[in-house]
Structure 1
């Protein structure tokens, strides 16, 4: 668990009532991949976005990056609403950079490390000393001395070194926010800690903000200041990482935590698969799989769970939960 930095009141990035729908299959109902999300990220803050595969977290991250245009709602960065013109997106992507989970897929095998890191500079017409900028980025990413890596190719590097090259390619543009999608999922356990420590040091040294997308609550504990738990297109619990992960209130968060090796008690096995985002159930969207409702513990609010829709959680930093049982 990290200690949250002192941040300014105004968020660096804000999503407000964000919705993203995709056309249904064969003319069916549209899929509501992101179905009402408010999320703030403060300067110098690391937020972990967690949830099962298919919950919408990657679509939300791509929307925050400007790679997907929201159906409704908007994204604000540094006080300005993101527009999806080519010029606006090019300027935005210099300030907000993506780090993908698979460094092998992110790097062109025919490009040297130098060219991989310099690519962003060339796209954005960098007018300074390119060699110095590349060397500085590699050094910040932990590849020292940087010149030793200039002429190497991805296949000559370890998995951890390739991920550091990807991070250097993001850092070379001196962004204010990194969006890291499962940044250590493809790495050996021995290397994961090094990459997480690197991301934390970048926050401390450069004041970088980060959104870390992951299914791993253990990773969230180790790196995040704040966590947002997503289920079926909506954030269902959010707050400071210590508050959420030591005293989870939403049954879904409890189930995710129960499968961690260090978790006391038996793991909670959720019934079935997450519902189709084209057929989101009424009431609480988790009610069909909720272990608390199934056990009878939530009988007093069972009707509300099945019929009454919960409000969208705000993007603020305080602990919040969307659950009738915990109200």
Structure 2
């Protein structure tokens, strides 16, 4: 298992959410300054029936990295995409950014299908920005902080609502928590702490005034002492700017502290989704239960999953989790009368609406019983 406990001083599932970390019913500003509740407005970004397949090597079967995903992200909403390494979450995120065209299905932004022509993608990436997990690797060591933040402005040839480049860079650095911004203009990455470097990366995304950011493990490489600061910054940006975010992580403690909604991914497909408090305090899918059980603060016994996730080129029949499922192994699925379905019937793809949903024969049988 690759799931770690909650980082640093972050709270774990089951504890009250930190101040300033609104739950899924909190009112958040929309992109034009309006307010609304995540789930009550039209999606900003949407994936429908998304499949991403990579050719197999040396005649092997193709790898189904993303194997049927529906996912909506609404203005001002923070969605955490969680799962083990290799489950397909980074490939899904890259496809939502337009970096990996889907094999089937489509991505829409603001109601319009994503256009993969070069000029259209350039315009799209101004509205949707990526924040990577390793700020050191994201920053050119030969570029000053000013040049690193200004790079996006120069690529797109625009300073947005600002009169000049310097004003736009200063505003982005200040919003990212580097104040006074002029103090950082001529510094180089090696002169900054890890937390400061990550703030520079965030400023480089903010300078283009995006509507959504995709943050791939945004605090994984940081010391525990600064992880909470970066997560608090992302929440502040959501509240001040109406910024939506997809946060890709294996860390359920992080998801608890920052997300309105969580989507749990296993072997290329979302297997459980819903409001973060509901999913992480009352998980329905055995895989979600196993991920949560390894947190230090979890109640009950740790669930030890057998084996590794199957090869995405050889996805098993039936429920894709059944070969590792503790519920099936314990006989509980047999007693519920769904063991054969677990082995032979593929659960339906969950829709992207954000409602509480689970792709599990046993969990559905329990809810109907």
TM-score, normalized by length of structure 1? 0.99
2:65 equivalent to 1:30: no
Q: Which of 92, 99, 106 is equivalent to 1:67?
A: 99
2:335 equivalent to 1:315: no
2:234 equivalent to 1:199: yes
Q: Distance in 1 between matches of 2:214 and 2:59?
A: 33
Q: Distance in 2 between matches of 1:116 and 1:269?
A: 44
Q: Secondary structure at the match of 1:210?
A: strand
2:23 equivalent to 1:3: yes
Q: Which of 126, 133, 141 is equivalent to 1:109?
A: 141
Which residue of the partner structure matches residue 306 of structure 2? 271
Q: Distance in 2 between matches of 1:270 and 1:83?
A: 41
Q: Secondary structure at the match of 2:361?
A: coil
Q: Secondary structure at the match of 2:338?
A: helix
Q: Distance in 2 between matches of 1:267 and 1:101?
A: 28
Which residue of the partner structure matches residue 171 of structure 1? 206
1:179 Cα deviation after fit: 0.1
2:51 equivalent to 1:19: yes
Structure 1 segments (4+ residues) deviating >3 Å: none
Do 2:82 and 2:263's aligned partners in 1 also have CA atoms closer than 8 Å? yes
2:346 equivalent to 1:326: no
Q: Which of 175, 180, 187 is equivalent to 1:152?
A: 187
1:33-81: CA deviation from partner (whole Å, max 9, x where unpaired): 0000000001000000000000000000000000000001000001110
Q: Secondary structure at the match of 2:279?
A: helix
2:193 equivalent to 1:161: no
1:9 Cα deviation after fit: 1.9
Question: After the TM superposition, which of the residue ranges 76-85 and 6-15 deviates more from structure 2?
Answer: 6-15
2:320 equivalent to 1:285: yes
Q: Secondary structure at the match of 1:114?
A: helix
1:3 Cα deviation after fit: 2.1
2:217 equivalent to 1:182: yes
Do 2:135 and 2:201's aligned partners in 1 also have CA atoms closer than 8 Å? yes
Q: Secondary structure at the match of 2:363?
A: coil
Which residue of the partner structure matches residue 251 of structure 1? 286
2:73 equivalent to 1:41: yes
2:267 equivalent to 1:235: no
Structure 2: gaps of 5 or more residues: 1-16, 28-35, 365-369
1:317 Cα deviation after fit: 1.4
Do 2:318 and 2:345's aligned partners in 1 also have CA atoms closer than 8 Å? yes
1:192 Cα deviation after fit: 0.2
Q: Distance in 1 between matches of 2:148 and 2:71?
A: 32
Q: Which of 330, 333, 343 is equivalent to 1:298?
A: 333
Q: Distance in 2 between matches of 1:242 and 1:47?
A: 12
Q: Distance in 2 between matches of 1:241 and 1:32?
A: 27
Q: Distance in 2 between matches of 1:216 and 1:152?
A: 32
Which residue of the partner structure matches residue 220 of structure 1? 255
Q: How does 1:51-90 map to 2 (within 5 A)?
A: 51-90=83-122
Q: Distance in 1 between matches of 2:216 and 2:265?
A: 14
Q: Secondary structure at the match of 1:326?
A: helix
Q: Distance in 2 between matches of 1:41 and 1:248?
A: 21
Which residue of the partner structure matches residue 139 of structure 1? 174
Q: Secondary structure at the match of 1:204?
A: helix
